[in-house]
Chain A
Amino acid sequence: MPRRIRFAVLALNLVLPARAAAQTVGSIDAGATRIGYTDLPGITAYSISPALQLFRPNASFLANGVYSYFNGGGWTLQGTAAGSIFVPRGSRVQAELGGTLSGSVDNDGNKSAELLAQPRLHWGGASRGMWIGGGLGRGYDGTTWQTVGLAEAAGWARLKELTAVVSTSPNWVGSDLRYLDTQATARLVHGQLELGAYGGFRHWFSPDAPTTKWGGASVAYWLKNRLAIVVAGGSYPADLAQGFPDAKYLSLTVRVATRRPPTPTGVEAQEYRLLQPLARPVVPDFRVTTTKAPNRLVRLWAPGATSVEIMGDFTDWQPVPLEKKGRNEWRAVIPIPNGTHRMNLRVNQGEWGVPPGIPVLDDDFGGVVGVLVVE
């Protein structure tokens, strides 16, 4: 996936006011991309791309680099770093002070760069929100430095596994270029699958310039918590600040990560202390009810699962399989004494995780453990 589009997808986590708990995710992508520029023959690029995402309760930082080698010879090296600080913590209205630094160099010595400061004002809750903001900086397209600026307004919403963002942004580059970018981005996380889609159009503030459109989609399938295959394709607009042309692309990438990136969970999680881990719930719904004490009926909803297991101090940490009932429901009756217990769930023999709605702790073994209270 081209660097800018991939970074835009990564930046979903940055832009949404959902830094949630502290977490660091590192990844390396390796793959091939077929790129088609207008009026030019297509080329194939083989790329390796490390990325680092840091999330803290009131701050985020993303860094991404791409080294690409082209089948016709030549190479490019691109990099981007973006960071934001949010104040005050734990408020539904927050100010963000953010900045982005990016640049590139190729084997011919061509260079580009962009430095942008982006303050924003966020308002939102756990499932929806909006922000307004702007940006001001300088861009270098290989020949001249120009002032770049933008204003932006955006809204986002989260419905279960789906997160969507719609934004509109008037931009200016130098003294001549004026245009309005409007874009919608959606991300769906369903079990091992992550689907991303985006689409937008650029309207020029000049009567003769045609509106340009772009769009694309990506599918990431996590074979394990640290290994994914990513297929992406689509188009992206020209980056006028750095002088990159628009193009179409199709890419196949293998991603190795320290762990799966977090799913934003909403502003209510911002006060989590720094060492608080964030875990993606391994199932969307989870309930424990008393049948005949100390027996408890554990019920959960796990669409697409072929096996579900639970374990905790109440099983001496031996995995206990749940039985499938109906299409997506899984059940087990397990003796669990009254009190507070540590527990984990896993689906399809994957990583041990935590169901939704219960506190999450570091388990001291590089993973997480949930705290289940049974009364």
Chain B
Amino acid sequence: MRQLLLLALALAGVPVVRAQEPRLEGRLDPATRASVATLLDSARAAGLPTEPIVDKVLEGMTKRASPDRIVAAVRTLATDLGAARATLGPTASDDDVIAGASALRAGASGEMLARIKGVRGKAGLSVPLAVLSDLVARGVPVDTAASVIVHLAQGGASDADYTGLERGVARDIGAGAPPGAAAAIRARIVTTDGRGALTGAPASVPGKGPNASPKTPARP
């Protein structure tokens, strides 16, 4: 039916041209390419970032996933991106939306995202949301991770503070600390001892660690 419609449009001179993604050219069978192209078009129309979608397709192709599985994964990702956009609003940057989708995928709720957004105000959300996803991936319960992120935001934490928190929690977990406890303790240190402790530096050395820098969100 869809082919007939396309044919009719073509015969009527109506241009039916989908935006092409050169990295996908020649690497997908026609049916999968059409499904992915439709999803990409829909994402663009909804103001969603398409790079993560292309990325997911490339990943699936290299891993020799079946076309059905690739399309399903991309559809899920597009849904998460749409949900993140709906929660974070039309003015949210692509990075914020991508980070939001990652956080939703990690188990965060829309309410959690909205709360973090409300506390952060006009500050970017990509770093705190990326750190939220990272903490959950490291085993921190999502409720604890969200509380820590909100707690830091309420204290005016910078992006560097969040990345410092992430490093500290990773180090503590590597040393054998339970993930939830590591996150809670690191967050407590931030609010009591300042940034020096947060980045793992001795408490007598104030300021951020040498590697503290903003980060981009993980692609979901």
The answer to whether A268 and B139 have CB atoms under 8 Å apart is yes
The answer to whether B136 and A340 have CB atoms under 8 Å apart is no
The answer to whether A90 and B178 have CB atoms under 8 Å apart is yes
> B69 to chain A: which residues have CB within 8 Å?
364-366
The answer to whether B140 and A271 have CB atoms under 8 Å apart is yes
> A342 to chain B: which residues have CB within 8 Å?
55, 59, 218-219
Of A204-212, A224-232, A314-322, the one touching chain B: A314-322
Counting CB contacts under 8 A, is A8 at the interface?
Answer: no
The answer to whether A341 and B218 have CB atoms under 8 Å apart is yes
Of A47-55, A142-150, A175-183, A367-375, the one touching chain B: A367-375
> A272 to chain B: which residues have CB within 8 Å?
139, 179
Q: Which of B154-190 contact A (CB under 8 A)?
A: 163, 166, 170, 173-174, 176-181
Complex-state Cα separation, A317 to B63, whole angstroms: 9
Taking each of B59, B62, B65, B174, which has the highest tally of chain A beta carbons within 10 Å of its own beta carbon? B59
> B179 to chain A: which residues have CB within 8 Å?
90, 268, 271-272
Q: How many residues of B are counted as interface, with CB atoms below 8 angstroms from the partner's CB atoms? A: 47
0/1 string, A307-348, CB within 8 A of B gives 1:
000010100111100000000000000000111111010000
Counting CB contacts under 8 A, is A284 at the interface?
Answer: no
The answer to whether A318 and B62 have CB atoms under 8 Å apart is yes
Q: Which of A248-284 contact B (CB under 8 A)?
A: 266-273, 275-276
Instruction: Choose from A268, A318, A369, A371 the contact partner of B173 (Cβ within 8 Å).
Output: A268
Complex-state Cα separation, A319 to B63, whole angstroms: 10
Counting CB contacts under 8 A, is B56 at the interface?
Answer: yes
The answer to whether A339 and B215 have CB atoms under 8 Å apart is yes
Instruction: Choose from B59, B141, B180, B216 the contact partner of A363 (Cβ within 8 Å).
Output: B59
0/1 string, B116-157, CB within 8 A of A gives 1:
000000000000001001101111111000000000000000
> A318 to chain B: which residues have CB within 8 Å?
62
Counting CB contacts under 8 A, is B196 at the interface?
Answer: no
Residue ID in chain A nearest B136 by CB atoms: A273
Give the interface size bracket for A toward B: 35 or more
Counting CB contacts under 8 A, is A91 at the interface?
Answer: yes
The answer to whether B63 and A367 have CB atoms under 8 Å apart is yes
Complex-state Cα separation, A337 to B215, whole angstroms: 10
Counting CB contacts under 8 A, is B200 at the interface?
Answer: no
Instruction: Choose from B55, B139, B170, B178 the contact partner of A313 (Cβ within 8 Å).
Output: B55
Assuming A271-B141, A373-B166, A375-B213, is B218 touching A340 (CB within 8 A)? Answer: yes
Complex-state Cα separation, A91 to B179, whole angstroms: 11
Counting CB contacts under 8 A, is A243 at the interface?
Answer: no
Counting CB contacts under 8 A, is A303 at the interface?
Answer: no
Task: Give the shortest distance, in Å, between A173 (CB) and chain B (any CB).
Answer: 40
Q: Which of B1-41 contact A (CB under 8 A)?
A: 23
The answer to whether A268 and B213 have CB atoms under 8 Å apart is no
> B92 to chain A: which residues have CB within 8 Å?
none
The answer to whether A359 and B134 have CB atoms under 8 Å apart is yes
Q: Which of A108-160 contact B (CB under 8 A)?
A: 125-127
Counting CB contacts under 8 A, is A10 at the interface?
Answer: no
The answer to whether B59 and A271 have CB atoms under 8 Å apart is no
> B72 to chain A: which residues have CB within 8 Å?
364
Residue ID in chain A nearest B137 by CB atoms: A359
Assuming A91-B178, A268-B179, A273-B141, is B218 touching A317 (CB within 8 A)? Answer: no
Counting CB contacts under 8 A, is A357 at the interface?
Answer: yes
Complex-state Cα separation, A92 to B59, whole angstroms: 38
Counting CB contacts under 8 A, is A360 at the interface?
Answer: yes
The answer to whether A365 and B218 have CB atoms under 8 Å apart is no
> B61 to chain A: which residues have CB within 8 Å?
317
The answer to whether A340 and B217 have CB atoms under 8 Å apart is yes
Counting CB contacts under 8 A, is A361 at the interface?
Answer: yes
> B137 to chain A: which residues have CB within 8 Å?
276, 359-361, 371
Instruction: Choose from B23, B56, B70, B134 the contact partner of A371 (Cβ within 8 Å).
Output: B134
The answer to whether B141 and A339 have CB atoms under 8 Å apart is no
Assuming A268-B177, A366-B69, A375-B163, is B216 touching A352 (CB within 8 A)? Answer: no
> A311 to chain B: which residues have CB within 8 Å?
62
Task: Give the shortest distance, in Å, between B134 (CB) and chain A (any CB).
Answer: 6
Assuming A316-B58, A317-B62, A366-B65, is B216 touching A340 (CB within 8 A)? Answer: yes
Interface residues, chain B, CB within 8 Å of chain A? 23, 55-56, 58-63, 65, 69-70, 72-73, 76-77, 107, 130, 133-134, 136-142, 163, 166, 170, 173-174, 176-181, 211-219
Interface residues, chain A, CB within 8 Å of chain B? 90-92, 125-127, 266-273, 275-276, 311, 313, 316-319, 337-342, 344, 352, 357, 359-361, 363-367, 369, 371, 373, 375
Q: List 5 A-B contacts (CB under 8 A).
A: A92-B178, A341-B218, A360-B137, A364-B60, A371-B133
